Every structure is written in C-alpha cells, then in structure tokens.
C-alpha cells in the first residue's frame, strides 16, 4: 500500500510539474505575432527586465503587450476582473459582495467613458498593446500553456481590450483615492456618540460649523448597514519621493528617488520594462496590463510620484421619493435617477440581477449592501468616476525632454491626484501636486452633506495654474511623503487628512544633513528604519506609565524602550513593543465603544490618535482619553496588554523578543488563501524591519503581523548617467512560480540592495533573447 501511494504521489507530482513547466513563458528563440508589421526583439536581462526594441511604435507596444502577458497574464486578468466587478464569474459566490461593490462604483463604466476622450494616437497605442496580449493568449491556448492558475481556478481568459487597460488605471485611482470612508465614519460618530466625542475624532473642526453638524446628526442614514462591507483601500497607501539639485550631489547633476507604497504581493503590482523605438527610449515600471512607463526615466529626464491624498470624494445624503424610489430631491423638485443594469454572473449558479442607481452626484453606495431605506440614501461624487485621460499623460511623459514638456503632459493627468517630482539633465528639479481637486460652494465639511441643496454642489476644480508647484528651490531639494504640501495661507482646500509627518521629516533631516550627497546615501535613505513617531511619543507615554503596576517583564520592557535608538530593527525587541503598544492605545480608547465593523472606515485613525496623545500631554485631555481614565491609565493598561501579548507571541524571556519574528513578509499570491496552494505560490517568509512610519515603509496586518504594504518598487536615478538606474522590484519580475525571476529579488528588497538596469544594448547582450516576427 505504501509503495502504491508513493507511486501515485510521484506520478501526480510529475504530471503537475510537467503542466507547470509547459506553461513557462518562452523567453528565447523566435515567436510569430500576426499583428506585428516588422520584427521586434525582447531581451530579458539577468533580473528578468525585458528590453524591448522595435522599428515602430506600433510594433513596440504590440511587443510590450505580448511580453507582459507572458509574465503576468493571470495577474492582468484578475486585475481587470476585480476592477470590473467580474470575479464571481470565475470564482463563485464568495466574491459576490466585492463584485456588487465595484459594479456600484462603476470603474469600468468610467473607463468606457474615458476611452472616448482619448486621441486617435492614444487609442492606437491601447489597441496595439491589446493586440500583443491577444497574440500571446491565442498562442498559449493553442499550446495549452496558459499559466497554471487558470487551470486551477477552472477558466480561460477572455480577449483583452483597450478598455481593460483603462479599467486597471481607474482601479489605481480607487486604490489611491480618498476619504469618503472618513466622511461615513464621522457621520456614524455623530449618530451614535455625544457631539464632543464625535468632534474629538475629526481631523479638524468642520468648516461648515454648527449647521452641517446639525444636519449630519439628524440625517438617519444607517452607515453600519450601508457601508460596513465596502472595500476600503489601505489607509497607508502612499509613497516617498525626492529630488536633489546638482549643487548638493557628488555627480554635479540631480538625483531622483521614488518608492511608491502599495500592497505587497506575488507577483508585484509593478512590472519593470525598457521600451525603445524611433523617437522613444524609456525605462521604468508600469502596472501589468497598461502600455507605456508610468514612473521612470528616458534619455533626458526622470520622474516619480507620491499620493497627494486630496478630498476628491463626497458622500451626499439623498432624499428619496418613497412612492418613486428612483427619484431624488434637488432644490424642491424630484429628479429621476439613471438606472443601470449590472447583472452579476456567478460560477455554477444563476446570474444575479443587479441594478445601480445613479443620481446627479453619482452612484447610490448604500444599495450594494441591500440598504433599501424608503426616504434616504448615500450617493458618492468622485473625480475618478468622470472621464479622464491619464494614459495620454503617461505616453507624453515617456517622450518629454524638459520640464515644460513634462508639465504640459500633466494637463492630461486628472486622477488620482499625485505629487510629481521631476529632474532633468539640464539641472532642473521640480515638484507639482497635480490632478482634479474640487472646489466646493460650501467649505469642506468632513461629513456627508445634503444632496437636496444646491449650495453643497462642486463649482469646479482648483485652477491648473494654482496647483502647488516648485521649481529649483533654494533648499536644493524637494521631498514628499504624502505629507501636508501647502501652507495655511493656500486659498484652496486640499484635505484635512494628511499622512503622519514622520517619513517626510526624516527625509528632510537626512537631505539637509550633508553638503554633498551620494547615490549610496539615496539608497540608504529609501531603506531607512528611523522611527520618528517613537522619538516623539515614547517620552510622553513612558512618563505616564505607572511602573509599579507592570510586573517584572513590564519593567524590563520599559528599560528596553528607554535604551532603544528608535530604529525599527528586525532583531530588536523595542520596535515590537512600541508598535504593538500604539495599536493597544487605540484599542483601549475605542474598543467596546466603536462598533468593530466601523473601524475600517476610521480614515486617518493613526493621525487622530497621535493628536489625542499630544493634547493630553499638554493638559488638554479630550473625552476619549478622559473616559479611558486619563493618559496615565490609558498608557499603563495598553502597555500591560502589550507585554502580555508579546509574552504570548514570543515567550516569557525578553532577551528573545524580536520585531522580525512577528513582522514577517510573505508576499502572498492571490491563490494562497486556498490551502495548501500557499505552499506552492508563496515565497518563504522573511523577517522584516521598518514600520508604517519609517521611510523604509513596511506596513503589516494588525491581526497577524504579516507585512503586506510597502514600496514594491524602489528606484534611484543619477541624471549624470541616464543609461543606468538602481532598482528593485519585490518579489521579482515574473508571475510564473517556476521562473528564475519569480522571487529572485526578495533578498535584495528586504536588505536594501538594488540591481542596476542599463539601457545600453551591450549591457544585456547576453540575456535571454526573444525575437517576435510578423506572420500567420
């Protein structure tokens, strides 16, 4: 019996391995791509970066589509399905609620509307790219060599379309868009807590003052029933970027560094490529499924992005006609809403009928959660649901030669609003917060506003020439990290919910400290582990600890924190204690008071808690601190709970406590939630330093400690030599588990190292060369 079982296992294993091997992309030799007009070549260097060269832009983008699909087809298909609300068609009823949400939002509808705005040239690029993807699909289906994930899930991908690429772009606007959930959460506070308690958790007092607070308090919209199942992007989505003038660099020309912070997964959200054709030579990264290069450099310039995080989403409380549910009140008259059929196909089940209601402001968000109240509803207005032309801007970035050309391209980039940093070989460094940011007739109120009154409408956007901009500042550098980018005298509202200031302050400290900076300094700073939140908060919290109540390990833990250098080192105990302590402070303040289903909507919670602690330390304890027994009691209880949690996680001996034992990086694959597929697709977990507030960002799941957020792409550019850049993509370039480029960059990513991507052909002449030829 044992021999028989071993034989069956061996045969099954061999068959599975054979199927996996068969689906490996062909990266050398010759392939026929019918839509090509001439020959294109893709040479993958030792890090799996494809250097794609063609004799025309048509063939270049066709080849880009083909090559990207080779490495990332399952990811591309999953991305378009998630953004379009079409996961249930291939996965089943488990994803119905997610599909319902994205159908309600209408990212795909917005992409379809956007397509009509694009120039004929941009539409051609989208089609050429789609032709390349579809050439790969036809070839893979013919040879039964689609990625193994399609076989496991049990479906084949549909034909790729230009709108699919634009839909993925709209999803990135969703991932980086902002703050409607905060409005909903604050409405919930006003409905369920005394006014003083509610306002204590606002980022600032609503500009609308007493009137809007009164309206929000009386409007009976059940936020818990309506929005508790909404899909909320990670609140720490953001980035670091900076540029340094040549006067401060060892090369004498500018440096640029960029590391966008998004979810960490296998494969990476980013795909590194080098594209070369007559009139264009550009290298950097793009989202798999989209043509061009969104962050990178060409032969004259380099650019990077961070998220501005402006208030571009408003929730409106709508008055519904009880007798005609598709009518909503505006200025004393009932307006008929637009009803769109969005039936949801579900694997192995009947298609679910579903309709989306769209008012003058946008989709009714409360209906996806079956909240069919007769008299009220919540709708959302959001810039990303309007037609926009970001890809047009990206294609222009790729060819821009100077700041004026790059700035002109920004006129096409509307959403998500981004902080762009720029550097060029002529020595220019520049910054711009760019995108559509609404101007409201009434001041921004931090809560949902009445949809039936004209005075709460938008009246346009911040004028393009008034958006925050800086060129060649006297400081010799520009740095952004999702921080406040304007002074108090700026005449327009951007947001009240900026990121915590610690990353940006650390970047400025380091860039200011040296007269001349090196490329190594830039790389070291991108991986920097200095925790300025600990530097600020520990002196406050430790002062308020009642140490007599802590026990032996508690007092040892206090000493560990007092002796700490505030580096979030994976081998130290202090980062574990501090970061878990800050989580416990929040729990002590809010648990058993704020419904746990509402906590994901608590936009900017970390900033709010920081402020509560600061105010209490200044003798101005707010109601939440007071109700927790004061700062002494809150600090002591939360610290005691932290020590007990660490003991439970890592034992009774403080000498063995380590941040990296808890704070590990799995780079989860989308199918890893299905056990035991995690053993096949997930790379080995790696202990990780850093935290949410360090420049070297490493956010984590608060329940498991697993690192799930950070800069999957880091790049450093010296404008003195644009033939090479210093990059890392975690975990690697390929989405195929047997590829040598699947997870080969994890060690570099987790230790702060880089590979060099060179654009001189001599540097990658010995790479894996794939020749793509036209033909049938």
Q: What is the DSSP string of 487-518?
A: -TT-SS---S-PPPSHHHHHHHHHHHH-SSB-
Cα–Cα distance, 746 to 732 (Å, whole number): 7
In degrees rounded to 5, what are phi and psi of residue 501?
-80, 0
3-state secondary structure 608-629: HHHHHHHHHHCCCCCHHHHHCC
Q: In 177-297, which residue ranges form alpha helices assigned H by DSSP? A: 180-192, 195-200, 209-218, 223-227
Q: Count of CB atoms within 10 A of residue 637's CB?
A: 18
What per-residue string of b and e applies to 449-464 under the rule 16 or more CB within 10 Å gives b?
A: bbbbbeebbeeebbee
Q: What is the DSSP string of 687-714?
A: E----TTSSS-EEE-TTT--EEEE-SEE
Name the nearest CA neighbour of 378 among 262, 251, 228: 228
| Structural tokens at position 337 | 């809403």
3-state helix, strand, coil in the chain (%, to 5): 40, 20, 40
Active site residue 512: no
Cα–Cα distance, 185 to 446 (Å, whole number): 10
Q: Which of 79, 114, 165, 239 is catalytic?
A: 239
In degrees rounded to 5, what are phi and psi of residue 57?
-65, -35
Cα–Cα distance, 212 to 222 (Å, whole number): 18
Binding residues for Ca(2+): 311, 314
Cα–Cα distance, 722 to 344 (Å, whole number): 48
Q: Count of CB atoms within 10 A of residue 219's CB?
A: 19
| Ramachandran region, residue 339 (left: φ > 0; alpha: ψ -120 to 50; beta: rest) | beta
CB within 8 Å of 724: residues ≥ 6 apart: 756, 757, 758, 759, 760, 763
Q: In 85-177, which residue ranges form alpha helices assigned H by DSSP? A: 88-91, 96-105, 107-115, 120-142, 148-153, 162-176
Contact between residue 680 and residue 673 where contact means Cβ atoms under 8 Å apart: no
Return the biggest CA–CA distance within the chain. 81
Name the nearest CA neighbour of 654 among 666, 670, 664, 642: 642
Which strand (E) or helix (H) includes residue 18? helix 2-22
| Structural tokens at position 302 | 């380099």
Q: Judging by beta carbons within 10 Å of its beta carbon (0-12, 13-18, 19+), is residue 535 exposed, middle or buried?
A: middle
Q: What is the DSSP string of 62-105?
A: HHHHHHHHHHHHHHHHHHHHHHHT-SHHHH-GGGHHHHHHHHHH
Catalytic residues: 239
């Amino acid at each position: 019996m044992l021999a028989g079982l071993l034989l069956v296992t061996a045969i099954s294993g061999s068959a599975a391995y054979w199927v996996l091997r068969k689906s490996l992309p062909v990266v050398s030799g010759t392939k026929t791509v019918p839509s090509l007009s001439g020959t294109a070549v893709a040479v993958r260097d030792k890090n799996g970066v494809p250097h794609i060269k063609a004799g025309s832009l048509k063939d270049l983008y066709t080849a880009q589509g083909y090559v990207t699909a080779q490495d990332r087809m399952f990811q591309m298909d999953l991305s378009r399905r998630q953004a379009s609300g079409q996961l249930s068609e291939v996965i089943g009823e488990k994803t119905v609620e997610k599909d319902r949400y994205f159908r309600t939002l209408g990212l795909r509808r917005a992409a379809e509307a956007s397509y009509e705005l694009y120039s004929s040239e941009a539409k051609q690029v989208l089609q050429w790219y789609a032709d390349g993807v579809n050439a790969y699909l036809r070839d893979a289906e013919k040879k039964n060599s689609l990625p193994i994930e399609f076989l496991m899930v049990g479906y084949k991908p549909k034909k790729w379309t230009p709108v699919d690429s634009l839909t993925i772009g709209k999803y990135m606007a969703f991932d980086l868009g902002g703050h409607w959930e905060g409005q909903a959460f604050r409405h919930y506070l006003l409905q369920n807590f005394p006014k003083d308690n509610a306002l204590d958790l606002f980022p600032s007092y609503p500009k609308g003052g007493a009137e809007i607070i009164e309206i929000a308090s009386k409007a009976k919209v059940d936020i818990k029933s309506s929005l508790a199942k909404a899909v909320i992007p990670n609140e720490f989505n953001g980035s670091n970027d900076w540029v340094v003038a040549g006067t401060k660099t060892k090369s004498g020309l500018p440096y640029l560094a960029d590391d966008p912070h998004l979810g960490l997964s296998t494969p990476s959200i980013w795909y590194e490529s080098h594209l070369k054709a007559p009139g264009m030579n550009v290298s950097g990264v793009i989202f798999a499924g989209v043509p061009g290069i969104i962050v990178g450099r060409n032969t004259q310039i380099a650019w990077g992005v961070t998220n501005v995080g402006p208030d571009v989403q408003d929730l409106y409380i709508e008055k519904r006609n009880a007798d005609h549910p598709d009518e909503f009140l505006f200025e004393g008259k009932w307006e008929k809403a637009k009803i769109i059929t969005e039936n949801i196909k579900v694997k192995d089940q009947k298609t679910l009928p579903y309709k989306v209601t769209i008012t003058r402001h946008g989709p009714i968000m409360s209906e996806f959660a079956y909240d069919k109240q007769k008299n009220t509803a919540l709708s959302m207005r959001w810039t990303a649901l309007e037609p926009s032309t970001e890809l047009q801007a990206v294609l222009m970035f790729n060819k821009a030669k100077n700041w004026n050309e790059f700035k002109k391209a920004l006129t096409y980039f509307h959403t998500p609003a981004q902080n762009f940093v720029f550097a060029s070989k002529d020595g220019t460094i520049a910054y711009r917060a760019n995108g559509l940011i609404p101007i409201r007739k009434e001041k921004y109120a931090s809560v949902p506003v009445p949809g039936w009154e004209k005075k709460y409408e938008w009246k346009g956007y911040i004028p393009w020439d008034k958006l925050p901009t800086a060129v060649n500042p006297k400081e010799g550098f520009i740095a952004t990290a999702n921080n406040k980018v304007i002074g108090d005298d700026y005449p327009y509202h951007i947001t009240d919910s900026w990121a915590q200031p610690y990353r940006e302050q650390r970047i400025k400290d380091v860039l200011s400290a040296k007269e001349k900076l090196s490329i190594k300094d830039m790389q070291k700073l991108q991986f920097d582990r200095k925790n300025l939140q600990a530097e600020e908060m520990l002196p406050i919290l430790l002062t308020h600890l009642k140490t007599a109540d802590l026990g032996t390990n508690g007092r040892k833990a206090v000493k560990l924190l007092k002796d700490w250098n505030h580096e979030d080192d994976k081998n130290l105990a202090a980062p574990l204690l501090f970061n878990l302590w800050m989580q416990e402070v929040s729990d002590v303040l809010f648990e058993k008071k704020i419904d746990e289903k509402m906590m994901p909507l608590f936009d900017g919670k970390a900033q709010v808690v920081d402020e509560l602690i600061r105010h209490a330390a200044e003798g101005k304890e707010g109601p939440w601190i007071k109700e927790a027994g004061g700062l002494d009691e809150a600090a002591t209880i939360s610290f005691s709970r932290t020590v007990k949690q660490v003991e439970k996680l890592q034992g009774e001996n403080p000498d063995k406590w380590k941040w990296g034992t808890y704070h590990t990086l799995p780079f989860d694959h989308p199918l890893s939630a299905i056990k035991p597929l995690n053993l096949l697709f997930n790379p080995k977990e790696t202990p990780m330093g850093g935290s949410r507030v360090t420049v070297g960002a490493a956010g984590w799941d608060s329940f498991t400690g697993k690192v799930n957020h950070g800069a999957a792409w880091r790049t450093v550019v010296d404008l003195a030599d644009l033939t090479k850049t210093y990059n890392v993509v975690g975990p690697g370039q390929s989405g195929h588990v047997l590829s040598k480029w699947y997870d080969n960059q994890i060690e570099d990513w987790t230790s702060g190292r880089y590979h060099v991507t060179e654009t001189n052909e001599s540097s990658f002449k010995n790479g894996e060369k794939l020749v793509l030829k036209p033909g049938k």
